[in-house]
Structure 1
Amino acid sequence: MTQPSTKPLSGIRIVDFTRFFAGPYCAQLLGDLGADVVKVELPVTGDPLRTQGPPFFADNGITWYATNRNKRSITLDLQAESGRAVARDLCLKADVVLENFRPSVMTRLGLDYASLSAQAPRLVYASISGFGPDGPDAEQGAFDLTIQALGGYMSITGESTGAPIKLGTSAFDMLAGMNCQTAIIAALLQRATTGRGQHVTTSLLESEVAFLANAALEYLITGTEPLKWGSEHAQQVPYKAFRTADGWAVIGAGFQKFYAAFCAILSRDDLVTDPRYSTMAVRVTNRDELYAILDAEVLKFTTIDIIASLERARVPCARVNNMREVFDLAQVKHRGLRIELDHPSYGTVPTLGPAARYSQFDITAGWTAPPQLGEHTTEILSEWLGYPSERIEALRSAQIV
């Protein structure tokens, strides 16, 4: 098996000051690729995600485990001058500093990019914020919920006659983390050529607005506000979730050959020749009338029967699975999308497998379970900074670490 030392970010040191979701998720992705990620946490309480719940596992909130594998934890009181001095030492030994505070916080702590890069010009410094590093709203805080509303996604999510709906996960926290990961890797790649680091920034708002994609262009080009379509498609019919006799199935039969095959399964070939529904364009125009017919027909089938018939006819379709059904899928099991990580203190915890694989290294090799609070404090201070045991004990006695 390929060893962790062959991973592309092996040898890269990252000081992770982030908390909550976006920043920790970014740092986790970098740790997956072999970086040595040191997570700096407050003494006693740590990252607020540790106390978010229920549910809890081994005294931590469940979301903690979704964002903190492949890291080492050090506790550090950044409100104390001696704590900030330790933090500065860590940063000056690092390749990457990652933070997700409001833009003024790291400057106040003396840990901003300008201060650190003056001594460490090769440093890559990454900032994730709610709204970006400058501008009229730069100092505002944000949660994924508020950004989904402000940045437009909730206006296009949900059923056409229903209330605005938040996406089912903290999607733009994760997207901002993914964007930041990409930016960090790009900055490290450029550093290999120029010898200099740089400051990279992203935000929840920028990540969301950039992700509006075709919905935004519909407005920018036509001046028309995109509508909420639920599971439907603005330009394809039929294309949505249908209720079956015992559940739900999504069916994407907008294109003509798929539509004809779908109607044949329903024994409704008349819907193919009916001039109100015979082409995609007229089906889009007359969607409500057509869906009233198709909804009633699909309701006569069980989910397994309609899916089997559609799959034989090669019509795009899928059952709407819950979490148990997702992780029972043979393909999910085959691709290793559930992994078990072992921790010496709290035992085994599941994690999700990687979304991308590589032919030259095993990305999951050497993965470690999320750490306990301050688990690696002594180790990091000794290994990274060469602090003698007496100094470490003095810091601990003063409750700095």
Structure 2
Amino acid sequence: MMSLPDSSSPGAGKALRGLRVLEFSAGSVAGQYGGQCLGDLGADVVRVDGAWTAGAACHAAFNRNKRSLSADPHTGEGRELLRRLCSRADVLIDALPAATLDGLGLGWPELSRAAPRLVYARVVPAVMPAGPAPQDAADLLAEAAGGYMGITGGRDGAPSRLGTSALEALAGVNCQSAILAALFQRAATGLGQHVSTSVLESEIAFLANAAVECLLGGPQPARWGSEHAQQVPYKAFRTADGWIVVAAGFQNLYAAFVQELGRPDLAADARFATMSGRVQNRAALYAALDAETARHGTGDLLRRLERSGVPCAPVNDLAQVFAHRQVRHRGMRVDLPGGRPGARAVLGPPARYSAFAVAEDWMAPPVAGEHTESVLQDWLAPADQVAPLVP
């Protein structure tokens, strides 16, 4: 069940206006990110803080557009309060260790009987051979066990993890997607359901062509760093003042690339005249190209290659990313009013909608328990004041 706010309420025109989401996520990036994705679109996402709360520096990154309620599940009063809130929720996100909510009588078997329209979304913590992984190690262990680390890193170096907890965030996106699909089906059947995902499943599904080629009997993918197995030149090149990536494997692009470097002889050289030759002789070609790109400034080389139609881009640090004209144009930094100092700048939305301004009225990440009173007042109103979800 969910209440429908009046048209002056924050987010009133957004796609998930009025949807009630109860989030039990503690330190799970996947659970928090899934809830944040729903909150971005106007859902009333209530993060339950209390016995499970895990302090983390990434709180500001994964908890915008949520309210926070404190409840003590170890008391009878706290458990009863949580049961009442669950009965009023449209969606429950459970990213806690296995059986935590079951032990409180708040697992799927109990809640599906008490609230048959509830969509119960389980985000399974990373599980390794030795058992559940601690939250702060979930992404690292999943990357190793699920294959990404095995194909990431320099050609002759050690395996490398991704630069952020990207696969946990991906699991959060999959959680959101599963929730929306379940809500869509509920519109037809009137019934909720249990959906689940995990970091490991999300990672393996995201291996895409690398995994499918292996399943079809192909070779194990190798680590190539920024290089490409079948295209040369295709990698990051050091310049006089930074780095640039160039994807010029195809013949016309290769010819234009070496022309701009002042080395047309590299296009005529029999060793490098064809794609197969460049792949076979990549070490010799890269030795020559590396020496040439190092003689140019990044900006100058970018301008020349762009003029010639050669695919290229600077390897930006994050300050440069947010100074980029396209990033600024698309509003990928949003400065929120209020909130704690240092928690007001958040990332912008990855998609836009013609029917509503998605970042309008976004809220800063909450302090634990900040909204307990207002949530109880809004969610636990008399039943006749709570409108049913649109069928």
What's the TM-score once normalised by structure 1's chain length? Answer: 0.88
Query: Which range moved further: 290-299 or 76-85?
Result: 76-85
Matched, 1:72 2:67: yes
Letter of the 2:143 counterpart: Q
State the shift of 1:214 in Å. 1.4
Residues 193, 369 of structure 1: alpha-carbon distance in 2 compared, 3 angstrom cutoff? same
Quick check: 1:159–1:230 contact (8 Å CA) kept in 2?
Answer: yes
State the shift of 1:130 in Å. 2.7
- DSSP-derived class of the 2:45 partner: strand
Give distance in 1, aligned partners of 2:129 and 2:107.
Answer: 19
Quick check: 2:339–2:365 contact (8 Å CA) kept in 1?
Answer: no
- DSSP-derived class of the 2:216 partner: helix
Matched, 1:266 2:261: yes
**Equivalence for 1:116:** 111
Give distance in 1, aligned partners of 2:235 and 2:173.
Answer: 29
State the shift of 1:47 in Å. 3.0
What is the aligned counterpart of 1:147 among 118, 131, 142? 142
* Structure 1: segments with no counterpart, 5+ residues: 53-60, 388-401
Give distance in 1, aligned partners of 2:31 and 2:372.
Answer: 20
* Structure 2: segments with no counterpart, 5+ residues: 1-6, 383-391
**Equivalence for 1:160:** 155
Q: Summarize the alignment of residues 25-40 of structure 1 with structure 2, pairs less than 5 Å apart.
A: 25-40=33-48
Letter of the 1:195 counterpart: G
State the shift of 1:384 in Å. 0.9
**Equivalence for 2:272:** 277
Give distance in 1, aligned partners of 2:166 and 2:314.
Answer: 22
Residues 18, 344 of structure 1: alpha-carbon distance in 2 compared, 3 angstrom cutoff? closer
What is the aligned counterpart of 1:298 among 293, 298, 302? 293
Query: Which range moved further: 285-294 or 175-184?
Result: 285-294
Quick check: 1:131–1:206 contact (8 Å CA) kept in 2?
Answer: no
State the shift of 1:274 in Å. 2.1
Query: Which range moved further: 3-12 or 94-103?
Result: 3-12
**Equivalence for 1:342:** 337
Matched, 1:239 2:234: yes
**Equivalence for 2:30:** 22
Letter of the 1:47 counterpart: T
Q: How many residues align?
A: 371
Residues 345, 283 of structure 1: alpha-carbon distance in 2 compared, 3 angstrom cutoff? closer
Q: After superposition, what is the alpha-carbon deviation per residue over 1:186-231, rounded to whole angstroms, capped at 9, x for unaligned?
A: 1101101111111000001000111111111232223421111111
Residues 101, 317 of structure 1: alpha-carbon distance in 2 compared, 3 angstrom cutoff? same
**Equivalence for 2:16:** 9
State the shift of 1:327 in Å. 1.0
Q: Summarize the alignment of residues 375-386 of structure 1 with structure 2, pairs less than 5 Å apart.
A: 375-386=370-381
Residues 26, 153 of structure 1: alpha-carbon distance in 2 compared, 3 angstrom cutoff? same
Quick check: 1:340–1:348 contact (8 Å CA) kept in 2?
Answer: no
Residues 345, 65 of structure 1: alpha-carbon distance in 2 compared, 3 angstrom cutoff? closer
What is the aligned counterpart of 1:222 among 208, 217, 221? 217
Moved over 4 A (4+): 136-139, 344-348
State the shift of 1:138 in Å. 11
Root mean square deviation, CA, Å: 2.0
Letter of the 1:141 counterpart: A
Quick check: 2:23–2:94 contact (8 Å CA) kept in 1?
Answer: yes
- DSSP-derived class of the 1:200 partner: strand
Give distance in 1, aligned partners of 2:36 and 2:214.
Answer: 36
Using the aligned pairs only, state the percent identity.
Answer: 51
What is the aligned counterpart of 2:53 among 40, 47, 50? 47
Letter of the 2:290 counterpart: D
Residues 359, 325 of structure 1: alpha-carbon distance in 2 compared, 3 angstrom cutoff? same
Query: Which range moved further: 217-226 or 319-328?
Result: 217-226
Letter of the 1:39 counterpart: R
Give distance in 2, aligned partners of 1:345 and 1:322.
Answer: 26
Q: After superposition, what is the alpha-carbon deviation per residue over 1:234-260, rounded to whole angstroms, capped at 9, x for unaligned?
A: 221111000011111111111111111
**Equivalence for 2:350:** 355
Give distance in 1, aligned partners of 2:144 and 2:170.
Answer: 16
Give distance in 1, aligned partners of 2:82 and 2:130.
Answer: 24
What's the TM-score once normalised by structure 2's chain length? Answer: 0.90
